[in-house]
Amino acid sequence: MSESEFNLLTPPIVEAVLDIECDLPPGQQLAALEGSAQECFRERYPKFRTKWIQEHLIAATPDGPPEVSVRHHGVEAFQFLQDDEKQLVQVRAQGFSFNRLAPYTSLDDYIPTIKEAWRVYSGLATPVQIRLIRLRYINRILLPFPEGKVSLDDFFTVGPRLPDEKNLVFTSFFNQHTAVELQTGHQVNIVLTSQPPQGDQLPVIFDNCVAASEPGEPENWDWILTTIRSLRDLKNRIFKKSLTEQCLKLFQNR
């Protein structure tokens, strides 16, 4: 199933993320790329942020509180955002990312932008090899919640179950599945979790993440695009088969 065959009038996507994990040249320091990256991305992505990473070491002591020390401190990513902050690219210590926040249209609309951003990133970071391509869609689904009640089976074909549904009622839930697609070897991670109710609606996060770990050449855009589209088709199938027709109607399925 292609995305053109599965369009929603009001998709519940709050963020779509494409990650391309890379092997980078030995000894390359992300911080050294800051100036060049800002120069290359400034025109299309005028806002800039640095994402830092800190690792803490906690050591137990026999007679006092634990001793906390910083084990590692460094730059995790450079983020380049459009003025409305709805779209950004990231130059990361492990590779490249493209993020699109709502409103989201179709992946095909963003492919030319992704291709150009990847070309710029490749020129900056000179990746040696692609190790993994990951496509992740975070959906926020607002379920009808009249009188504080909802039957999850009416909206999801997979999800949490209680051992005694007559006497137990969910106050919250977190449900996760990991799998591998037999035909392609693509990895799948599905998370379904509730958020606090909002009036007569119950927000549920449906985190749909798929990844391909086949290595590839950074300059082979045709291969990259084929892999992205394969992942897109898989995530679409997962989304549609995880939701009931009643749930899909919430998004005015075409």
Q: What is the mean pLDDT of residues 146-159?
A: 90
8 Å CB contact between 252 and 9: yes
Quick one: how far is CA 175 from the chain centroid? 17
How many Cβ atoms sit within 10 Å of the Cβ of residue 42?
A: 12
Chain mean pLDDT for the chain: 90
pLDDT tens track for 109-131: 999 999 999 999 999 999 999 99
* Mean pLDDT confidence for 40-66: 80
pTM for this structure?
Answer: 0.89
Per CATH, domain 3-54+73-251 is 3.30.590: yes
Nearest to 174 by CA among 191, 149, 157, 151: 191
Q: What is the largest CA-CA distance in the chain?
A: 65
- Which pair of tokens denotes residue 198? 């909002």
Q: What residues form DSSP beta bridges with 68?
A: 58
SS3 of residue 250 by DSSP? helix
- Nearest by Cα to 75 from 8, 30, 127, 10: 30
